[in-house]
Chains A and B, each alone.
Chain A
Amino acid sequence: MISDGVEDEEKWLAAGIAGLQQNAFYMHRSLDSNNLKDALKYSAQMLSELRTSKLSPHKYYDLYMRAFDELRKLEIFFMEETKRGCSIIDLYELVQHAGNILPRLYLLCTVGSVYIKSKEAPAKDILKDLVEMCRGIQHPLRGLFLRSYLSQVSRDKLPDIGSEYEGDADTVNDAVEFVLQNFTEMNKLWVRMQHQGPARDKEKREKERSELRDLVGKNLHILSQVEGVDLDMYKDIVLPRVLEQVVNCKDEIAQFYLMECIIQVFPDEYHLQTLDVLLGACPQLQPSVDIKTVLSQLMERLSNYAASSAEVLPEFLQVEAFSKLSKAIGKVIEAQVDMPTVGVVTLYSALLTFTLHVHPDRLDYADLVLGACVKKLSGKGKIEDNKATKQIVALLSAPLEKYNDIVTTLKLSNYSHVMEYLDGETIKVMAMVIVQSITKNKTQISTADNVEALFELIRGLIKDLDGSLTDEVDEDDFKEEQSSVARLIQMLYNDDPDEMFKIICTVKKHILTGGIKRLPFTVPALVFSSLKLVRQLQGQEENPFGDETATTPKKIFQLLTQTIEILSSVPAPELAFRLYLQCAEAANDCDLEPVAYELFTQAYILYEEEISDSKAQVTALHLIIGTLQKMHVFGVENRDTLTHKATGYSAKLLKKPDQCRAVYACSHLFWLDDHDNMKDGERVMLCLKRALRIANAAQQMSNATRGSTGPVSLFIEILNKYLYFFEKGNPQITVATIQGLIELITTEMQSDTTTPDSSADAFFASTLRYIEFQKQKGGAVGEKYEPIKV
């Protein structure tokens, strides 16, 4: 059925075009032979094709445009005709003899255009006559096109200021009056379309109407182009008249479109100066009109206007734009009870953007907007609507974008209240926006209060919200989020240690609520942030008065210990272990022996109780050794205890090579370069010998199980340790011991049972080369090495 309709329409259009072209042909012939009478006859017949009722607006437009082109030729002919002496007044009458009204009026408009150009009568009289006579077409589609033709041909002939058609009697008022009248009539016709035809075609009709809307809107565009329409005229005549028509037509489509048009075509400063009137019309529109979009557009335009130049800002203040808009929005929301949440939020979002642009200094305004929004949202519970949520995100992002500074935003007390209406997922998204804004702008957040507020805002990232446990969170996303939080924690900083400590406490309070999944991300960040503070304090003298409230490294370490302990709930022993060691190192630098000892103890306990994987043990042990080696704060006793433990652990590793390596690493614990009292050559030697034994045992074990010994790399490694301590001047390491080991290695390597290993060969070769090199260096070192024979 429908496709038939379309086909029929094609046929009708084709027939219409054919008829039009045929008559146009005869018309051309008449024009060529200067036969006015025939020209009129054929042009009227040609225009009769436009009388059809069978075409949709789209197809009708096609036909109209063809007629339009032909009429241009006719107009030129009329112009020449008047030059040949034919009176334009007679012509104006002559075309009115046509019996059919539509062709008659098209011809009248065409001659009218020539008439105005001739200036034989005031433009205003002719325009007035034309716009009046067009009333004869009451058919919406035909009327709209006819009047559109009228506005087209008259466009350049309005008695505008500065126009050649302006005269004593013709003023811009007449021009405006003409356009307004044509606009009013066109709008009436357009609105009338809605009410004609059966109800079941409503959708089709609305589609057709929307195709025609620009014909109506064009008039407003013309008005905006009229030079003479200055602010006063716009205020006194144009806007009231246009709005009167908009309000009175009581048509949803027209009201929405025309309000949009008004906002788009007229200059911003006009809007600003007529804000009362424009906003006053909004509550009078039909309840179904999408006012929120209209107002949003208005505010957007004004925002951009405000942003365009600082010079215009006083105008905004002068007209109290903010309070007017704010009131208008309130009224609209009140009037439209059924407005969906998305609408409400969109409006407030636009208003917020506006106030941010216009009154960047008035945070209270922004807060007011947020407050009003909260009020409207209250009682509605979490917002489920996807679009509404998006709008809230936009609303909340606006201040961030504007100020690039979360601190300012945090001053908006209603900000977090708005967030409460978001669902968990969106809160997270919003929190990410905030965090990213901070990281991007490197915002300094330097007070505990701000931190408190900030963490309140981004709590979606900090802890699991109700119900969100069920959500399957993408692992990567989660990591990304938490890394962002970690970055954020690192960025919180204040020069004042007391305040910084407070910040740390606040952060700690919040991250402790984060649950076991988040802690591994957040705790290290906090620990390092705290250590930064420790480092800052370590150089300073202790407060001689022992002020209880002052921030001391001790206090921080207490806090750190507590913090790290929490990781046991995860559990994340390896992480906690590393953090303990980090802290111990810091405590060392602060000369806090008991603290350092305690931290080490904790690390040891974790090692013993929690770290059971052999690989992890190896790593952990090396960390212990590395850290312990650097500790200088310990007394002999404590140090002995700790080193003893460490060597003990080394010997207990599962794999022989691991044991061996751990043991020779332990040798370093007894030899601290800068501390002469901690150079125990004997014990170093002991460790190395023990390592050698273990290496030997490893070889034998390998031989026993596989029938071939493993690579000799362990020996070579020990050889390197020998050389190291030899150079350092450990008296226990002699040329003989080194010589012995080299020989041992050489023998081993030549043994049949040894598996050839090129990397071990290379390692050994380069070690020997090193000895050779040291020898040739000469001086004290060379002398020392001289006796070693390779």
Chain B
Amino acid sequence: MQGAGCARFGSSISLPTIMNYLLGAFKPSCTVSIAFSDGKTRKQVPLKKENGQTVLVPLFQSQENITGKITIDPLQGKKVDHNGVKIELLGQIEMYFDRGNYYDFTSLVRELDVPGEIYERKTYPFEFSTVEMPYETYNGVNVRLRYVLKVTISRGYAGSIVEYQDFVVRNYSPPPSINNGIKMEVGIEDCLHIEFEYNKSKYHLKDVIIGKIYFLLVRIKIKNMDLEIRRRESTGSGANTHVETETLAKYELMDGAPVRGESIPVRLFLSPYELTPTHRNINNKFSVKYYLNLVLVDEEDRRYFKQQEITIYRLQEAA
């Protein structure tokens, strides 16, 4: 077969070349880049973009100074005519039922340049000092909260040139001063009585839930017992409230049927799960709450469960 066919390599222009050529016509007349002053040292974290790609972006927390510089580099032989250059720091909430419509809960602006023309590369330093960023970046089922730096080169008829730079905000909390355990006795009369105990009501993201389940009365044939971590995201308000519940963890605690008096240990490491801190009523737009759901399944696959809210917080990690 080898000698039979011959390769046909044509001399025509390849497709990518054409594409580049065509796109070039609509290219903005300059490139805009946003650089953070501590960009090289600052911690970067992955962020999932709208298109599903994950990119690494810098991480900030509230009250930090966000400083850096904007570089505008006109394309060779072109000038940029503008009505002013500004940079905005935006905190936005986007509801997915209303996609594309952002609600800005934070909006800071710095004017960088008065209207004029830019002929060559120009750099503008910027600084937002001690920025109040009370909410954390969040990517949920029905809602997302994001922080972004937006550079706008205003132009009249040609349309403004806009460049975005996402960054992530995480806010750390100290260990809560009051952190009582959860202890409760629940049951179905003459059927099943249990007492469960979790060592805390507030857990940080890498925490371990320690506890035990004590069987006071067992008249049903239990097959197994799981501990679930559930996330409840509620969006909207009033009649438009939308609640989405996800089970993030399903952790088997017990296999087989216990008898009265048995006590089953609980030790659940939270680190493997993708949790966020609890968010309560973020700007009247949404809430994210976490629950521990203790589920007992009997031999007929009936489920008996008890749900308890826990608070998740982000503990300042030791340096």
A residues near B (Cβ < 8 Å) are: 51, 93, 96-97, 99-102, 104, 132-133, 135-140, 142-143, 192, 196
**CB <8 Å contact, A142 and B255:** yes
**Minimum-distance CB pairs A-B, first 10:** A139-B256, A138-B256, A101-B252, A138-B258, A97-B272, A137-B255, A136-B254, A100-B252, A101-B255, A139-B255
**CB <8 Å contact, A97 and B252:** no
B307 CB, nearest partner CB in chain A, Å: 19
**CB <8 Å contact, B265 and A133:** yes
B255 touches which one: A51, A93, A99, A192 (CB < 8 A)? A51
12 A-B pairs, CB-CB below 8 angstroms?
A99-B249, A101-B252, A132-B265, A136-B252, A136-B254, A137-B256, A138-B256, A138-B257, A138-B264, A139-B255, A140-B256, A142-B255
Proximity string of chain B (263-290) to chain A, C-beta cutoff 8 Å, 1 when within and 0 when not: 1110101011000000000000000000
**Across the two chains, which residue of chain A brings its CB closest to B249?**
A99
B residues in contact with A138, CB < 8 Å = 254-259, 262, 264
A142 touches which one: B256, B258, B263 (CB < 8 A)? B256
**Across the two chains, which residue of chain B brings its CB closest to A139?**
B256
Q: A135-B263, A135-B264 are in contact. Are A96 and B269 (CB under 8 A)?
A: yes
Counting CB contacts under 8 A, is B253 at the interface?
yes
B residues in contact with A102, CB < 8 Å = 255
A99 touches which one: B252, B256, B259 (CB < 8 A)? B252
**Across the two chains, which residue of chain A brings its CB closest to B268?**
A96
Counting CB contacts under 8 A, is B250 at the interface?
yes
How many A-B pairs have beta carbons closer than 8 Å: the answer is: 52
A101 CB, nearest partner CB in chain B, Å: 4
B residues in contact with A140, CB < 8 Å = 256
A residues in contact with B164, CB < 8 Å = none
A38 CB, nearest partner CB in chain B, Å: 15
B residues near A (Cβ < 8 Å) are: 224, 249-259, 262-265, 267, 269, 271-272
**Across the two chains, which residue of chain B brings its CB closest to A138?**
B256
B251 touches which one: A99, A139, A142 (CB < 8 A)? A99
With most chain A CB atoms within 10 A of its CB, the pick from B253, B258, B267, B269 is: B267
A26 CB, nearest partner CB in chain B, Å: 21
**Across the two chains, which residue of chain A brings its CB closest to B218?**
A138
A residues in contact with B258, CB < 8 Å = 138
Q: What 4 new A-B contacts, CB under 8 Å, besides A96-B267, A138-B257?
A: A132-B265, A135-B262, A135-B263, A137-B255
A204 CB, nearest partner CB in chain B, Å: 19
A residues in contact with B257, CB < 8 Å = 138-139, 196
**CB <8 Å contact, B265 and A136:** yes
Q: A99-B250, A143-B256 are in contact. Are A136 and B272 (CB under 8 A)?
A: no
A residues in contact with B255, CB < 8 Å = 51, 101-102, 136-139, 142
B residues in contact with A99, CB < 8 Å = 249-252
A residues in contact with B249, CB < 8 Å = 99
B residues in contact with A139, CB < 8 Å = 255-257
**Interface of A, helix, strand, loop or mixed by DSSP:** helix
A212 CB, nearest partner CB in chain B, Å: 15
B304 CB, nearest partner CB in chain A, Å: 16
A residues in contact with B262, CB < 8 Å = 135, 138
Q: How far is the CA of A139 from the CA of B258 in the complex (A)?
A: 8
**Across the two chains, which residue of chain B brings its CB closest to A133?**
B265
**Across the two chains, which residue of chain A brings its CB closest to B208?**
A93
**Across the two chains, which residue of chain A brings its CB closest to B256?**
A139
B301 CB, nearest partner CB in chain A, Å: 14
With most chain A CB atoms within 10 A of its CB, the pick from B255, B265, B267, B271 is: B255
Q: How far is the CA of A37 from the CA of B252 in the complex (A)?
A: 20
**Across the two chains, which residue of chain B brings its CB closest to A96?**
B269
**Across the two chains, which residue of chain B brings its CB closest to A108?**
B267
**CB <8 Å contact, A133 and B251:** no
Q: How far is the CA of A101 from the CA of B262 in the complex (A)?
A: 17
A residues in contact with B224, CB < 8 Å = 101
B residues in contact with A135, CB < 8 Å = 262-265
B25 CB, nearest partner CB in chain A, Å: 49
**Across the two chains, which residue of chain B brings its CB closest to A196?**
B257
With most chain B CB atoms within 10 A of its CB, the pick from A104, A133, A138 is: A138
Q: A101-B255, A136-B254, A196-B257 are in contact. Are A93 and B265 (CB under 8 A)?
A: no
A residues in contact with B254, CB < 8 Å = 101, 136-138
Q: How far is the CA of A137 from the CA of B222 in the complex (A)?
A: 12
A residues in contact with B272, CB < 8 Å = 97
With most chain B CB atoms within 10 A of its CB, the pick from A51, A97, A101, A196 is: A101
A259 CB, nearest partner CB in chain B, Å: 23
A614 CB, nearest partner CB in chain B, Å: 94
A94 CB, nearest partner CB in chain B, Å: 9
A residues in contact with B265, CB < 8 Å = 132-133, 135-136
B residues in contact with A96, CB < 8 Å = 267, 269
A135 CB, nearest partner CB in chain B, Å: 6
B49 CB, nearest partner CB in chain A, Å: 26
Q: A93-B269, A96-B269, A97-B272 are in contact. Are A192 and B259 (CB under 8 A)?
A: yes
B163 CB, nearest partner CB in chain A, Å: 39
Q: How far is the CA of A97 from the CA of B206 in the complex (A)?
A: 12
Q: A93-B269, A96-B269, A97-B272 are in contact. Are A136 and B253 (CB under 8 A)?
A: yes
With most chain B CB atoms within 10 A of its CB, the pick from A96, A104, A135 is: A135
B residues in contact with A97, CB < 8 Å = 269, 271-272
B residues in contact with A101, CB < 8 Å = 224, 252-255
**Across the two chains, which residue of chain A brings its CB closest to B222?**
A138
Q: How far is the CA of A192 from the CA of B222 in the complex (A)?
A: 14
Q: How far is the CA of A552 from the CA of B255 in the complex (A)?
A: 95
Q: How far is the CA of A133 from the CA of B251 in the complex (A)?
A: 14
Q: How far is the CA of A132 from the CA of B267 in the complex (A)?
A: 11
B residues in contact with A132, CB < 8 Å = 265
Q: How far is the CA of A132 from the CA of B258 in the complex (A)?
A: 15
Q: How far is the CA of A124 from the CA of B272 in the complex (A)?
A: 28
Q: How far is the CA of A139 from the CA of B259 in the complex (A)?
A: 11
**Across the two chains, which residue of chain A brings its CB closest to B215?**
A138
With most chain A CB atoms within 10 A of its CB, the pick from B252, B253, B262 is: B252
A133 touches which one: B252, B259, B267, B271 (CB < 8 A)? B267
A residues in contact with B250, CB < 8 Å = 99
Q: How far is the CA of A96 from the CA of B249 in the complex (A)?
A: 13
**Across the two chains, which residue of chain B brings its CB closest to A51?**
B255
**Across the two chains, which residue of chain B brings its CB closest to A188?**
B259
**Across the two chains, which residue of chain B brings its CB closest to A140?**
B256
A249 CB, nearest partner CB in chain B, Å: 12
**Across the two chains, which residue of chain B brings its CB closest to A137?**
B255
B292 CB, nearest partner CB in chain A, Å: 15
B residues in contact with A143, CB < 8 Å = 256
A4 CB, nearest partner CB in chain B, Å: 23
Q: How far is the CA of A142 from the CA of B252 in the complex (A)?
A: 15
Q: How far is the CA of A100 from the CA of B265 in the complex (A)?
A: 14
Q: How far is the CA of A93 from the CA of B252 in the complex (A)?
A: 16
Q: How far is the CA of A137 from the CA of B254 in the complex (A)?
A: 6
With most chain B CB atoms within 10 A of its CB, the pick from A51, A100, A102, A142 is: A100
B residues in contact with A104, CB < 8 Å = 252
B262 CB, nearest partner CB in chain A, Å: 6
**Across the two chains, which residue of chain B brings its CB closest to A97?**
B272
Q: How far is the CA of A222 from the CA of B85 in the complex (A)?
A: 81
Q: How far is the CA of A224 from the CA of B49 in the complex (A)?
A: 65
**Across the two chains, which residue of chain A brings its CB closest to B251?**
A99
Q: How far is the CA of A119 from the CA of B64 in the complex (A)?
A: 44
B182 CB, nearest partner CB in chain A, Å: 20
With most chain A CB atoms within 10 A of its CB, the pick from B249, B253, B259 is: B259
A44 CB, nearest partner CB in chain B, Å: 12
A187 CB, nearest partner CB in chain B, Å: 13
**Across the two chains, which residue of chain A brings its CB closest to B250?**
A99
A10 CB, nearest partner CB in chain B, Å: 24
With most chain B CB atoms within 10 A of its CB, the pick from A132, A136, A137 is: A136
Q: How far is the CA of A132 from the CA of B210 in the complex (A)?
A: 13
Q: How far is the CA of A133 from the CA of B252 in the complex (A)?
A: 12
B residues in contact with A137, CB < 8 Å = 254-256
A residues in contact with B252, CB < 8 Å = 99-101, 104, 136
B50 CB, nearest partner CB in chain A, Å: 30
